[in-house]
Amino acid sequence: MAYSYTNRQGKIHYFKRAETKKGGYRYYVTTSNKFPDLIDEVPNDYEVAELPEDAKVVIRKKKPVLITKEEREITHDAIKDFSAINDFFIHADEEYVYVYHSQFNYTAGQEPNLSREEANEVFGFGEDVTRWMRFFTSLRFKLVDKTKRLFQTERVVYTSFYGHDFHPVGEVGLIEDVARNYGQYLGRETFFDLEPKSYE
């Protein structure tokens, strides 16, 4: 039985193995289960990952994730309870905890932040927007002390029409503190009142 992965858009993906000239293997993603050499399990040093922005599925070398499940759950609860956004998820990647919000939620609340149900009603036209909607990140927390589990908050800074970077804001702290203290600005006009340290 070929190994498969279904992303948040409901698309099923399979993974093909091809031998290289040097005798190793490369792995490819496909949405067809008709190819030969489909793998039936993910190799030990690889992982299947779903990219948070557009739900694209990749197979890649394993990347270390230093964030615990509890820290992700704490961040989720803080954003749910204190921010103004209505459709989001938490993504952990290496030493970062990211808050990803749907394209129908806005960093600084320039327009109404819509729930999934509201977005379906306004933009779905009978189709579930989950099948094509994208997600963006404007706030992340960087693990800066692995022993004390302290995090530095970073917010997006737009460098051009398409370009952006992240800059630190505020003081380091436990994830329950920084997620609550700075997450509350997400989806509100006061978000850009968070002055990046590098601009002080």
Return the amino acid letter for 74. I
Give which of 137, 140, 138 is closest to 96, Cα–Cα.
Answer: 140
List b or e across 80-108, with b for residues whose CB sees 16 or more CB atoms inside 10 angstroms: eeebbbbbbebbbeebbbbbbbbbbbbbb
The string of pLDDT tens digits covering residues 83-138 is 999 999 999 999 999 999 999 999 999 999 999 999 999 998 878 898 899 999 99
The residue ranges of every structural domain in the chain are: 4-61, 69-199
Element at 62 (helix H, strand E): none
pLDDT mean across residues, the chain: 94
Tokens of residue 27, six digits:
């792995």
Residue 30, classed as helix, strand or coil, is strand
Please tell me the distance from the alpha carbon of residue 53 to that of residue 51, in angstroms, as a whole number. Answer: 6
